[in-house]
Structure 1
Amino acid sequence: MKRNPMLEKEAAQVEEGSTEFNNGIQWKRGRLIGKGSFGSVFLACLKPHFTKYSIFPPVMAVKSAEISVSETLQKEKQNYDNLKGCNSLIQCFGEEITTDHNGRMIYNLLLEVATGGTLAHHIKNTGGKGLEENVVRNYTKSIIKGLIHIHRSQYVHCDLKPANILLLPKNNTTKDRQFIAKIADLGLARRTSKTKASYCLGGTFSYMAPETLIDGVQESTSDIWALGCVVLEMLTGNRAWAATDKVGILQEMTENFLGMPKIPEGLSAEATGFLKNCLVRKPEFRFTAEMLINVPFVAAAEDQEQDFNTVKAPTFVTKWPRQFKRQRIIPIKAV
């Protein structure tokens, strides 16, 4: 099987990690790369004698939590199972129960690893300037493809934001640093028939649609509002609202024209038009994901597909060349 330099670089980062949660049957737990309310995220690689026949890739991200508090992770696994088959969503490879050093049972969710980190990380690194528009177009097209798949499956993501969009290398090379965007974190996703009622459905205030903030309603149109907020943030380097709390955001909506975030001058007409199709106060007037894929801002973007299959594992390398050991995987931070 052909060697995959990018995956070899990733595997080089899997140093012996904390033994607190122990290893899986086929994989070895590496260092901690992220932490959130759901639990912890570790880098992991296959054990050498399993690589030839395993269904797992050589490197994975493993979300772990004590089984007594793993309800969100278990629900996320169910959502991945129901939404599989889309290249614009992070892939899920399975689940496994391990035990920690005290004998407690640990639930582990095995996911595709994203060496580029989160979209939020890349936006922050622009220092408030935003990403180049052609990059935003490409990321947006990939995100919309993911939303089309989610919505056709009668699901709503419910927490679309830059921190939940991961970046993976586009090409099978160590030199090309172009990325593709994939939607991740499906723990809050739910079927559309179960989205009404309750203000406690989850999500992040800064990306919530007006109907979610006011009435607790989350439907596919709410994801479109969140998409508009994400694209605006990519273009400007700043969140759509200055406030981060519910009351403050509602106050800004009241003060702003038509209840939508301010779209700065200087954006292209195509970008401005796209945002106006997403950030509409009344959900019934927002474009759907299937409509947005054909608007000029997105239609001009490249198709973001990986040039290699990350699921198929290359022959395991027990000792990497020195240059591979310097590869850095951007940590995932809870937002």
Structure 2
Amino acid sequence: MCNHGERWLRGALIGKGGFGSVFLATPDKRKRGLLTGNFPALMAHEAEVLFEIKGCSFISEWFGEEITTTKKGNKVHNLLLEYAAGGTLDGLIQRSNGHGLPEAHVKAYTPSILEELIHIHKCDYVHCDLKPENILLVPSTTTSTVVAKIADFGLSKRSKEKYSGWRSTPRYLSIEALKDIKQDESSDILPWELKPGCSDHVDILDVAMLDHLRTSRIAAEISYVVRDFLESCLAMKPGRRLTAEELLSHPVKVVNSALGQAYGVCCFKPSAKYHASTAIVPRI
């Protein structure tokens, strides 16, 4: 197959989501990811967003799009994307056996995620579906480290655009999105991790879900400074939430570790043992 004059071959299936499948694509012996789907409008929208926000090295790179035809004559819409050899942040969390990410990993991945959010918001976009499954781990080409990169912009929107329904996975929605279907830059700071067993498919506003958000627990032994950081980041009122830029400059020496907890990678997964050593944080 050919994309913008460059020939490539579709390889093995490496992932599958609600709107398409991801295959390996190999042009000139360099591996890339190929997102193939049957939702042309959604994929065209993602391509448009990726074009608009290009310029940040921490965002999953986009190499182009095209339409191919199967042997049966069916049209297939393709996006050629950067290959993430390290998988996703969600995969890394799942491999932790319920312990969450080590602090070293959180500190390594947090800065790039914040830099990406700052860039996305400056381009007047809101990601809307930020969650561990949509954060790719890409090995650095210059060092031995792994860089966290935000991906999957199919549900992204302009900051002032309004919609009649949720543009996210329900379990990661902010309180204002759940109640008022409002998603702006502050919503990207708040990907939620609900109680184990909660369904990803929520048809009505669940009072228990809102109660969980209001009474999220933070480890009781955490310092006052870090608690202040988390309360600001997770405030119920979006106007009192820290922006991505403020998170980068917050005077907390363990800001990266704290943000990792805010992103649901090691906190907010209630269990009897965990509740024994936590305290309810008043939400403002």
Same fold, judged at TM 0.5 (above): yes
Alignment of 1:24-103 (within 5 A): 24=2, 26-47=7-28, 58-66=30-38, 69-103=39-73
Structure richer in strand, relative to its length: 2
Q: TM-score, normalised by structure 1?
A: 0.68
Distance 1:40 1:182, change over 3 A: same
Partners of 2:112 and 2:148 within 8 A in 1: yes
Q: Summarize the Cα distance change of 1:252–1:29 in structure 2 as closer, same or farther, 3 Å threshold.
A: closer
Q: Which runs of 5+ in 1 are unaligned?
A: 1-22, 49-57, 230-238, 302-335
- Backbone CA RMSD of aligned residues: 2.4
- CA–CA distance in 1 between the matches of 2:93 and 2:221? 18
Cα distance in 2, alignment partners of residues 27 and 158 from structure 1: 31
The question of whether the paired residues in 2 share the 8 Å contact of 1:240 and 1:262 is answered with: no
The alpha-carbon deviation at position 255 of structure 1 amounts to 5.8
- The alignment's TM-score, normalised by the length of structure 2, stands at 0.80
Partner of residue 162, structure 1: 132
Deviation at 1:250, TM superposition (A): 3.8
In 2, Cα distance between equivalents of 1:264 and 1:290? 25
Offset, 1:277: 2.0
Shift of the 92–126 alpha-carbon distance from structure 1 to 2, 3 Å rule, reads same
- Relative contact order: is structure 1 or structure 2 higher (C-alpha 8 Å, sep ≥ 6)? 1
In 1, Cα distance between equivalents of 2:223 and 2:33: 37
Rounded Cα–Cα distance in structure 2 between residues aligned with 1:149 and 1:117: 23
Partner of 1:212: 177
Which residue identity lines up with residue 101 of structure 1 in the other structure? K
Contact 1:76/1:186 (CA < 8 Å) preserved in 2? yes
Amino acid at match of 1:274: F
Alignment identity in percent? Answer: 40
Where 1:167 maps in the other structure, the secondary structure is strand
Per-residue deviation at 1:72?
1.0
Separation (CA, whole Å) in 2 of partners of 1:269 and 1:180: 30
Taking the TM superposition and a 5 Å limit, the aligned residue runs for 1:170-319 are 170=140, 172=142, 176=144, 178-194=145-161, 196-198=162-164, 200-226=165-191, 229=192, 239-242=193-196, 243-244=198-199, 246=202, 250-254=207-211, 259-267=214-222, 271-297=226-252
> Displacement of 1:220 after TM fit?
0.6
What's the secondary structure of 2:217's corresponding residue? coil
| Structure 1 Cα separation of the partners of residues 194 and 226 of structure 2 | 15
Task: Tell me if structure 2 keeps the 8 A contact 1:64–1:108.
Answer: yes
Which structure 2 residue ranges, 5 or more long, are not aligned?
Answer: 257-284
The answer to whether structure 1 residue 141 and structure 2 residue 111 are counterparts is yes
Number of residue pairs matched?
251
Secondary structure of residue in 1 paired with 2:160:
helix
Is residue 106 of structure 1 aligned with residue 71 of structure 2?
A: no
